[in-house]
Structure 1
Protein backbone atom coordinates (compact mmCIF):
# COMPACT_ATOMS: atom_id res chain seq x y z
CA UNK A 1 0.00 0.00 0.00
CA UNK A 2 2.59 2.51 1.04
CA UNK A 3 5.08 4.22 -1.21
CA UNK A 4 7.35 7.04 -0.10
CA UNK A 5 4.79 9.58 -1.41
CA UNK A 6 1.94 7.98 0.54
CA UNK A 7 4.04 7.72 3.69
CA UNK A 8 4.85 11.42 3.43
CA UNK A 9 1.13 12.20 3.20
CA UNK A 10 0.30 9.80 6.04
CA UNK A 11 2.89 11.51 8.24
CA UNK A 12 1.40 14.94 7.46
CA UNK A 13 -2.05 13.72 8.43
CA UNK A 14 -0.82 12.08 11.61
CA UNK A 15 1.10 15.21 12.63
CA UNK A 16 -2.13 17.21 12.28
CA UNK A 17 -4.01 14.73 14.47
CA UNK A 18 -1.25 14.81 17.06
CA UNK A 19 -1.35 18.61 17.11
CA UNK A 20 -5.12 18.47 17.73
CA UNK A 21 -4.47 16.20 20.73
CA UNK A 22 -1.60 18.41 21.96
CA UNK A 23 0.73 15.46 21.41
CA UNK A 24 4.18 15.52 19.82
CA UNK A 25 4.96 13.11 16.97
CA UNK A 26 8.72 12.83 17.40
CA UNK A 27 9.50 10.25 14.73
CA UNK A 28 7.58 8.62 11.88
CA UNK A 29 8.47 5.99 9.30
CA UNK A 30 6.87 3.01 7.67
CA UNK A 31 7.19 0.03 5.42
CA UNK A 32 4.91 -1.12 2.60
CA UNK A 33 2.17 -2.30 4.97
CA UNK A 34 2.56 -0.53 8.34
CA UNK A 35 3.90 2.54 10.10
CA UNK A 36 5.96 3.25 13.23
CA UNK A 37 5.43 6.34 15.37
CA UNK A 38 7.35 7.68 18.34
CA UNK A 39 4.89 9.88 20.20
CA UNK A 40 5.32 11.97 23.34
CA UNK A 41 2.00 12.53 24.98
CA UNK A 42 0.89 13.90 28.34
CA UNK A 43 -0.98 11.70 30.83
CA UNK A 44 -4.22 13.56 30.05
CA UNK A 45 -4.23 12.19 26.50
CA UNK A 46 -6.11 8.90 26.19
CA UNK A 47 -3.95 6.61 24.05
CA UNK A 48 -6.89 4.63 22.64
CA UNK A 49 -8.61 7.84 21.49
CA UNK A 50 -5.39 9.12 19.93
CA UNK A 51 -4.81 5.87 18.02
CA UNK A 52 -8.44 5.74 16.92
CA UNK A 53 -8.17 9.26 15.54
CA UNK A 54 -4.78 8.64 13.90
CA UNK A 55 -6.13 5.58 12.13
CA UNK A 56 -9.54 7.04 11.32
CA UNK A 57 -8.36 10.36 9.88
CA UNK A 58 -5.48 8.84 7.92
CA UNK A 59 -7.68 6.06 6.51
CA UNK A 60 -10.41 8.47 5.45
CA UNK A 61 -8.04 10.93 3.78
CA UNK A 62 -5.74 8.38 2.14
CA UNK A 63 -8.74 6.48 0.76
CA UNK A 64 -10.06 9.74 -0.66
CA UNK A 65 -6.74 10.89 -2.15
CA UNK A 66 -5.50 7.52 -3.45
CA UNK A 67 -8.79 5.66 -3.93
CA UNK A 68 -7.87 3.44 -6.88
CA UNK A 69 -4.65 2.21 -5.32
CA UNK A 70 -6.05 1.85 -1.80
CA UNK A 71 -8.92 -0.41 -2.87
CA UNK A 72 -6.40 -3.00 -4.05
CA UNK A 73 -4.76 -3.20 -0.61
CA UNK A 74 -7.59 -3.18 1.92
CA UNK A 75 -7.65 -5.76 4.74
CA UNK A 76 -11.14 -7.19 4.47
CA UNK A 77 -12.48 -3.79 3.47
CA UNK A 78 -10.49 -1.95 6.14
CA UNK A 79 -7.54 0.36 5.64
CA UNK A 80 -5.84 -0.46 8.96
CA UNK A 81 -6.05 -3.68 10.95
CA UNK A 82 -8.07 -3.46 14.14
CA UNK A 83 -4.99 -3.86 16.31
CA UNK A 84 -2.00 -1.74 17.24
CA UNK A 85 1.03 -1.99 19.47
CA UNK A 86 1.88 0.70 21.98
CA UNK A 87 4.76 0.50 24.39
CA UNK A 88 5.93 2.83 27.10
CA UNK A 89 9.59 3.78 26.89
CA UNK A 90 10.07 6.06 29.87
CA UNK A 91 13.80 6.27 30.52
CA UNK A 92 14.86 4.62 27.26
CA UNK A 93 17.29 6.71 25.19
CA UNK A 94 15.24 8.51 22.54
CA UNK A 95 18.16 8.38 20.11
CA UNK A 96 17.95 4.58 20.04
CA UNK A 97 14.19 4.62 19.50
CA UNK A 98 14.47 7.20 16.71
CA UNK A 99 17.24 5.18 15.09
CA UNK A 100 15.07 2.03 15.14
CA UNK A 101 12.22 3.87 13.41
CA UNK A 102 14.53 5.56 10.89
CA UNK A 103 15.98 2.18 9.89
CA UNK A 104 12.70 0.70 8.72
CA UNK A 105 12.79 -0.46 5.12
CA UNK A 106 10.83 2.44 3.66
CA UNK A 107 9.49 1.75 0.16
CA UNK A 108 10.45 4.03 -2.71
Structure 2
Protein backbone atom coordinates (compact mmCIF):
# COMPACT_ATOMS: atom_id res chain seq x y z
CA UNK A 1 0.00 0.00 0.00
CA UNK A 2 1.34 3.41 -0.88
CA UNK A 3 0.16 6.27 1.30
CA UNK A 4 1.25 9.89 1.04
CA UNK A 5 3.58 10.85 3.92
CA UNK A 6 1.12 13.55 5.06
CA UNK A 7 -1.49 10.89 5.95
CA UNK A 8 -1.16 10.00 9.61
CA UNK A 9 -1.41 6.35 10.65
CA UNK A 10 -4.51 7.11 12.75
CA UNK A 11 -6.34 8.69 9.79
CA UNK A 12 -5.38 5.78 7.53
CA UNK A 13 -6.56 3.18 10.05
CA UNK A 14 -9.82 5.03 10.73
CA UNK A 15 -10.50 5.19 7.00
CA UNK A 16 -9.75 1.50 6.48
CA UNK A 17 -11.88 0.49 9.46
CA UNK A 18 -14.77 2.66 8.29
CA UNK A 19 -14.74 1.29 4.75
CA UNK A 20 -14.42 -2.32 5.88
CA UNK A 21 -17.20 -1.86 8.45
CA UNK A 22 -19.59 -0.47 5.83
CA UNK A 23 -18.78 -3.32 3.45
CA UNK A 24 -19.23 -5.93 6.16
CA UNK A 25 -22.62 -4.44 7.09
CA UNK A 26 -23.69 -4.55 3.45
CA UNK A 27 -22.50 -8.09 2.87
CA UNK A 28 -23.51 -9.52 6.26
CA UNK A 29 -26.61 -7.65 7.50
CA UNK A 30 -27.02 -10.07 10.43
CA UNK A 31 -23.84 -8.66 11.98
CA UNK A 32 -25.74 -5.52 12.90
CA UNK A 33 -28.18 -7.57 15.00
CA UNK A 34 -25.34 -9.14 16.98
CA UNK A 35 -23.52 -5.86 17.57
CA UNK A 36 -26.50 -3.53 18.00
CA UNK A 37 -25.56 -2.54 21.57
CA UNK A 38 -22.23 -1.04 20.55
CA UNK A 39 -23.49 0.24 17.16
CA UNK A 40 -20.09 -0.59 15.69
CA UNK A 41 -18.21 -3.67 14.63
CA UNK A 42 -14.68 -2.71 15.63
CA UNK A 43 -12.90 -1.25 18.62
CA UNK A 44 -11.19 2.13 18.48
CA UNK A 45 -7.76 0.62 19.08
CA UNK A 46 -5.17 -0.45 16.51
CA UNK A 47 -1.52 -1.43 16.27
CA UNK A 48 1.03 0.03 13.88
CA UNK A 49 4.58 -1.24 13.61
CA UNK A 50 7.49 -1.56 11.25
CA UNK A 51 9.53 -4.59 10.27
CA UNK A 52 12.80 -2.96 9.26
CA UNK A 53 12.76 -4.21 5.68
CA UNK A 54 12.16 -7.89 6.42
CA UNK A 55 10.70 -9.79 3.46
CA UNK A 56 6.92 -10.36 3.66
CA UNK A 57 7.46 -14.14 3.83
CA UNK A 58 9.51 -13.77 7.03
CA UNK A 59 6.93 -11.46 8.61
CA UNK A 60 4.08 -13.82 7.67
CA UNK A 61 5.91 -16.82 9.15
CA UNK A 62 6.59 -14.88 12.36
CA UNK A 63 2.92 -13.91 12.74
CA UNK A 64 1.69 -17.42 12.00
CA UNK A 65 3.97 -18.86 14.70
CA UNK A 66 2.62 -16.59 17.45
CA UNK A 67 0.56 -18.17 20.22
CA UNK A 68 -3.16 -17.60 19.96
CA UNK A 69 -5.22 -16.64 23.05
CA UNK A 70 -7.08 -19.56 24.60
TM-score, with structure 2 as normaliser: 0.65
Any conservation in 1 of the 2:21–2:41 contact (CA below 8 Å)? yes
Query: Over alpha carbons, which structure has the higher Rg?
Result: 2
- Shift of residue 90, structure 1, vs aligned partner: 1.9
Paired with 2:56 and 2:7, the residues of 1 have a C-alpha distance of: 20
- Residue 7 of structure 1 is matched in structure 2 by none
Paired with 1:72 and 1:93, the residues of 2 have a C-alpha distance of: 39
* Cα-Cα RMSD: 2.7
Any conservation in 1 of the 2:25–2:32 contact (CA below 8 Å)? yes
- Corresponding pairs, count: 65
Q: Which of these residues, 45, 57, 61, is aligned with residue 7 of structure 2?
A: 45
- Residue 58 of structure 1 is matched in structure 2 by 20
Paired with 2:48 and 2:37, the residues of 1 have a C-alpha distance of: 21
Cα 1:76/1:99, change in 2 over 3 Å: same
Kindly indicate which of the two structures has a greater share of residues assigned to strand. 1
Moved over 4 A (4+): none
